[in-house]
Amino acid sequence: MLTEEDVYKVAELAKIEICEEEAKKFRAEFESIIGYFNLLDEVDVDVEPTFQVLPIKNVFREDIPKKGLSREEALANAKHVENGYFKGPKIVE
Amino acid sequence: MITIDEWKERLESEKCYDLVCEIYDRIEKSKLNAYITLCKDLALKEAEKYDKGQKSGKLAGIPIAIKDCISTKGIRTTCGSKMLENYIPPFDAHVIENLKREGAIIIGKTNMDEFAMGTTTETSYFGVVRNPYDLSRVAGGSSGGSGACLGGDEAVLALGSDTGGSIRCPASFCGVVGLKPTYGLVSRYGLIPYANSLEQIGPMACSVKDLALLLEIIAGKDERDSTNAGREFKFEYCSKKFKVGIVKEMGGNEEVNSRFEEAVEIIKNMGFEVGEVSMPSFKYALAAYYIIATGEASSNLARYDGVRYGFALEELDSWTKYFSKVRSLGFGEEVKRRIMLGTYALSAGYYGKYYLKALKVRTLVKRDFESALAKYDLLISPTMPALPFKIGELADPLTMYKMDVNTVPINLAGIPALSLPAGFIKSLPVGIQIMGNYFEESKILSFAMDLEKVFKEVF
């Protein structure tokens, strides 16, 4: 049983502000979706998990210096810019 | 629908500039809503270059549409989201570099479900894409714009991306051909990520021949994607009478099944040996897919912080408040739903129950495919379990997720699969799915090419 409190908790972890109406709607939907996920409880096998499908490991490339984005290009999509830097929100409250 | 051969034939006597103008005229009058952003000035300039003999390459002068989750330098790339409404990438995706090298003309960026999360393109911030065969129905998703623009003669080729069926579903619903390549065959560099371990960029086209050519161009080695297989692709037609397995667990409603059975009869009559295979793990594949996909999404989409790019607020607040507000206003409902589901499935106490279990199911799915493909060259099923839905028909999220039942096992295993048109039912397109072993796209394409000819005559 999933409560609205659980939904608020998950929203907080995901850093998404939700309103009361959304919490109600998501609670009901999550209950049915997660109920469906619980189908996996039936699976009782001890096999290795597959994180990715290709048999490739530790892919390296030569360490050759290349030109990256210019400062101007990197900042072009940011709304808050100051003295050639990204300006972010306060981290310490 | 326009094939490359038909386009080239017209280019012999007409100006590329005029033909491209004709495409834009059609788009501007269109009700499909297939495009989010058009790059008309740029495209017409390229067409002019072609007319002056300044463009070369395998796709010289051919108009292509690009799904809006693929980065295009200097051209707005929104991913169907308010979050990226004004985002202009400072670089090209690997596949875009390749297309430009071959002389293709980019017409615009196609509409899609927000962050590729959806099966109908109804979650797009830019409105639903309509089906070219019935405007009251969806074009499928998430690459709905790429499917619809081909079905509606608004491009000759298109790129889509496929995380759980997002190329094959709109291909099926719009009566075009679409392929999800083997995981790692096409570089994901510049693809805005949703679920990295599942997704691939892939070709969509109006004929199997065009599809094969487009795959040759976008596939290949790229060290900027560490999961790239480092292989090139060259299509080699093979006339062999393949052994074909019908997957028992993949089906559809009555209408779809009856068309599929007709197709199977045709395949038998063409001299292919047809058998049946059972994949017991598929019972769990859909649940496993949604756990893995939402889990990866919850981590991937953490990058949208409203600081470096994307939707931002006028005032910078404290970090937690700002971040939560930006994401609350910038993401649509389905994206929030999936980020939160993934966050839940990955949270302390649930990791073993959901995520790890899903990864184990993935191993079982992979093994089922491996043993089936040891017996058969190719596997077949209906692509979608139903015909194109009415807009708004699938209101409940879980009902919508269940429509991906035939397509998601392929992404879990990483094998390639193609959707081929098999005519129409009640004037709506229907598709069949052809699956093959890792990197055996040539077998799939050869078989599809044989079928395409016969299906066109029969259906």
pTM above 0.90, yes or no: yes
> CB atoms < 10 A from the CB of B153, how many?
16
The closest alpha carbon to B244, from B260, B257, B259, belongs to B260
Closest in B302, B305, B359 to A49, CB measured:
B359
Q: Looking at chain B from residue 165 to 184, which residues have their Cβ under 8 Å from any Cβ of chain A?
A: 183-184
pLDDT for the residue numbered B256 = 98
Angle between helix axes B441-458 and B254-269 (nearest 10 degrees) is 100
- At B132, the pLDDT band (50, 70, 90 cuts) reads very high
Check A56 against B227: CB less than 8 A apart.
yes
Tens digit of each residue's pLDDT (9 = 90 or more) over B62-96: 999 999 999 999 999 999 999 999 999 999 999 99
Angle between helix axes B282-300 and B357-375 (nearest 10 degrees) is 130
The closest alpha carbon to B350, from A52, A9, A25, belongs to A9
Tens digit of each residue's pLDDT (9 = 90 or more) over A37-48: 999 999 988 899
- Which residue in this structure is represented by tokens 């409902």? B333
Alpha-carbon dihedral sign for residues B9, B10, B16, B21:
negative
CA distance B176 to B208: 9
For residue B38, is pLDDT > 90?
yes
pLDDT for the residue numbered A92 = 81
What tokens were used for B216? 């040759």
Query: Which position among B81, B124, B142, B207 bears the catalytic label?
Result: B142
Check B323 against A77: CB less than 8 A apart.
no
Coil, strand, or helix at residue B37? strand
Q: Is B221 a catalytic residue?
A: no
CA distance B117 to B205: 22
Pick the residue from chain A with its C-alpha nearest to B353: A41
Give per-residue burial for B195-213: e unless 16+ CB within 10 Å, then b. Answer: bbbbbbbbbbbbbbbbbbb
Instruction: Read off φ and ψ for residue B352, nearest 5 degrees.
Output: -70, -40
Q: Looking at chain B from residue 190 to 209, which residues have their Cβ under 8 Å from any Cβ of chain A?
A: 197
Rg of chain A in Å (alpha carbons): 23
Could you tell me the CA-to-CA distances from B276 to B373, B381, B406 in Å, in that order?
Answer: 12, 11, 16
Q: Looking at chain B from residue 55 to 114, which residues have their Cβ under 8 Å from any Cβ of chain A?
A: 86-88, 90-91
- The whole-number average pLDDT for the span A80-90 is 96
- The whole-number average pLDDT for the span B368-374 is 98
Query: Which position among B55, B67, B82, B180 bears the catalytic label?
Result: B67
pLDDT, mean over chain A: 94
pLDDT for the residue numbered A33 = 97
- The whole-number average pLDDT for the span B289-306 is 97
A77 CB neighbours in chain B (<8 A) are 86-88, 90, 308-310
Rg of chain B in Å (alpha carbons): 21
Q: Is B166 a catalytic residue?
A: yes
- At B348, the pLDDT band (50, 70, 90 cuts) reads confident
Alpha helices, DSSP H, located in B102-161: 144-151
Closest in B227, B284, B364 to A39, CB measured:
B284
Angle between helix axes B333-346 and A20-37 (nearest 10 degrees) is 50
- The whole-number average pLDDT for the span B340-355 is 94
* % of chain B beyond a pLDDT of 70: 100
pLDDT for the residue numbered A1 = 80
Tens digit of each residue's pLDDT (9 = 90 or more) over B416-451: 999 999 999 999 999 999 999 999 999 999 999 999
pLDDT for the residue numbered A91 = 85
- At B184, the pLDDT band (50, 70, 90 cuts) reads very high
Tell me whether strands A85-86 and A81-82 are parallel, antiparallel or unpaired.
Answer: antiparallel
Residue B191 near residue B201 (C-beta atoms within 8 A)? yes
Per DSSP, B184 falls in state T
Could you tell me the CA-to-CA distances from B315 to B320, B325, B326 in Å, in that order?
Answer: 14, 11, 11
- Which residue in this structure is represented by tokens 């210096």? A65
Residue A67 in contact with partner chain B when CB distance is under 8 A: no
* % of chain A beyond a pLDDT of 90: 83
Tens digit of each residue's pLDDT (9 = 90 or more) over A34-77: 999 999 999 988 899 999 999 888 888 889 999 999 999 999 99
pLDDT for the residue numbered B127 = 98
Q: Is B446 a catalytic residue?
A: no
A88 CB neighbours in chain B (<8 A) are 305, 307, 316, 319
Is 0.90 exceeded by the ipTM?
yes
For residue A93, is pLDDT > 80?
no
A59 CB neighbours in chain B (<8 A) are 223, 226-227
Pick the residue with more confidence: A91 or B331?
A: B331
pLDDT for the residue numbered A55 = 87
Residue B362 in contact with partner chain A when CB distance is under 8 A: yes
Residue B384 near residue B252 (C-beta atoms within 8 A)? yes
Tens digit of each residue's pLDDT (9 = 90 or more) over B236-282: 999 999 999 999 999 999 999 999 999 999 999 999 999 999 999 99
For residue B346, is pLDDT > 90?
yes
pLDDT for the residue numbered B192 = 98
Give per-residue burial for B438-457: e unless 16+ CB within 10 Å, then b. Answer: bbbbbbbbbbbbbbbeebee
Give per-residue burial for B337-349: e unless 16+ CB within 10 Å, then b. Answer: bbbbbbbbbbbee
A23 CB neighbours in chain B (<8 A) are none
Q: Looking at chain A from residue 15 to 44, which residues have their Cβ under 8 Å from any Cβ of chain B?
A: 15-18, 22, 26, 29-30, 32-34, 36-37, 39-43
- At B109, the pLDDT band (50, 70, 90 cuts) reads very high
Residue B23 near residue B62 (C-beta atoms within 8 A)? no
Tens digit of each residue's pLDDT (9 = 90 or more) over B133-153: 999 999 999 999 999 999 999
B88 CB neighbours in chain A (<8 A) are 76-77
Coil, strand, or helix at residue B179? strand
pLDDT for the residue numbered A81 = 97
- The whole-number average pLDDT for the span B35-49 is 98
Alpha-carbon dihedral sign for residues B89, B199, B297, B165:
positive
B359 CB neighbours in chain A (<8 A) are 49-51
pLDDT for the residue numbered A59 = 85
The closest alpha carbon to B421, from B389, B451, B380, belongs to B451
Number of A to B CB contacts under 8 A, please give it: 168
Pick the residue from chain A with its C-alpha nearest to B415: A53
CA distance B2 to B65: 13
